[in-house]
């Protein structure tokens, strides 16, 4: 039977997959760590594992479809949030099988990656995926905090409803003040963010690179946790170490 991706669309993946192109950084890391010989191409934004040496195919939002076709992939791996439908359809129109993931919770990430590796890449589940499932099952939050989670400034944009990032934080004891907002990534004026009733601000280093000198000064009187965006927003091998790494950062939150 032809396997179907997370959206329910059948994807004509061959019985033996030899060449995979990934257009999502976390999926690139997933394949590169699990079966490095399969990875035939990745985006310019795919930074992990360090030293990754594969042909580049543009960005997540503007992949070079002609370049991807030249690489002759057995399958391209994408994500419904990261990649534009028009680019996905252009690849399919060129005869390239595209497997789309759809991930908005930790549980969905664990299940989606397991199935993607087995059915789209034709490889066995790796040990790191079992370890990630174990560590997340064992997470017990020590305290409850209410947070705003900016992901961009100029204009300020925060994590809203129904996101993987929000689920990660919730499991660690951090509730998202904007979890009930109609938008998934709403634009909120800074004065409203400061008056939202949060006692914590979580600032990742991607997609906007918040640092000690760029971000915390905008939230006087609030504790700020600067976190690794890879641990907060990526679904892949980083899942195994994310609970411990994020918990340390959250516990060390302070006013700047």
CA–CA separation, 56 vs 67, rounded Å? Answer: 9
Task: Report pTM.
Answer: 0.91
pLDDT digits (tens, 9 = 90+) for 29-88: 999 999 989 999 999 999 999 999 999 999 999 999 999 999 999 999 999 999 999 999
Residue 48, phi then psi, degrees to nearest 5: -130, 145
**Which of the 8 DSSP states describes residue 126?**
P
pLDDT at 113: 98
Distance CA 171, CA 243 (A): 9
**Tokens (6 digits) for 33:** 């760590």
**Over 80: is that where the pLDDT of 142 sits?**
no
Fold adopted by 142-251? Rossmann fold (3.40.50)
Q: Which CATH class is domain 20-125?
A: alpha beta
Per-residue confidence at 13, pLDDT binned at 50, 70, 90? very high
The residue extents of the domains of the chain are 20-125, 142-251
Q: Give whole-number Cα distances, 26 to 45, 90, 158, 233, in Å.
A: 10, 22, 21, 9
Of the candidates 205, 5, 250, 241, the one whose C-alpha atom is nearest the C-alpha of residue 128 is 241
For tokens 């006692």, name the residue.
199
Cα dist from 144 to 99, 182, 232, 251, whole Å = 37, 23, 18, 11
Domains 20-125 and 142-251 share a fold: yes
């Amino acid at each position: 039977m032809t396997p179907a991706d997370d959206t329910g669309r059948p994807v004509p993946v061959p019985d033996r997959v030899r060449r995979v192109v990934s257009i999502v950084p976390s999926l690139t890391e997933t394949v590169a760590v699990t079966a490095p010989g399969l990875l035939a191409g990745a985006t310019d934004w795919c930074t992990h594992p360090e030293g990754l040496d594969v042909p580049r195919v543009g960005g997540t939002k503007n992949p070079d479809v002609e370049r991807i076709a030249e690489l002759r992939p057995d399958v391209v791996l994408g994500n419904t949030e990261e990649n534009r439908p028009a680019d996905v359809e252009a690849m399919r129109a060129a005869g390239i099988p595209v497997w789309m993931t759809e991930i908005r919770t930790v549980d969905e990430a664990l299940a989606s990656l397991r199935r993607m590796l087995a059915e789209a890449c034709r490889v066995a589940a790796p040990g790191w995926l079992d370890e990630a499932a174990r560590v997340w099952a064992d997470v017990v939050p020590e305290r409850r905090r209410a947070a705003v989670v900016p992901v961009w400034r100029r204009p300020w944009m925060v994590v809203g409803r129904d996101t993987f990032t929000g689920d990660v934080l919730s499991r660690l004891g951090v509730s998202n003040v904007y979890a009930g907002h109609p938008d998934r990534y709403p634009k909120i004026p800074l004065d409203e963010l400061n008056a939202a009733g949060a006692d914590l601000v979580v600032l990742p280093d991607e997609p906007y690179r918040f640092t000690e000198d760029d971000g915390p000064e905008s939230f006087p009187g609030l504790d700020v946790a600067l976190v690794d965006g890879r641990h907060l927003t990526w679904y892949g091998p980083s899942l195994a170490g994310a609970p411990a790494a994020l918990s340390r950062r959250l516990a060390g939150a302070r006013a700047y």
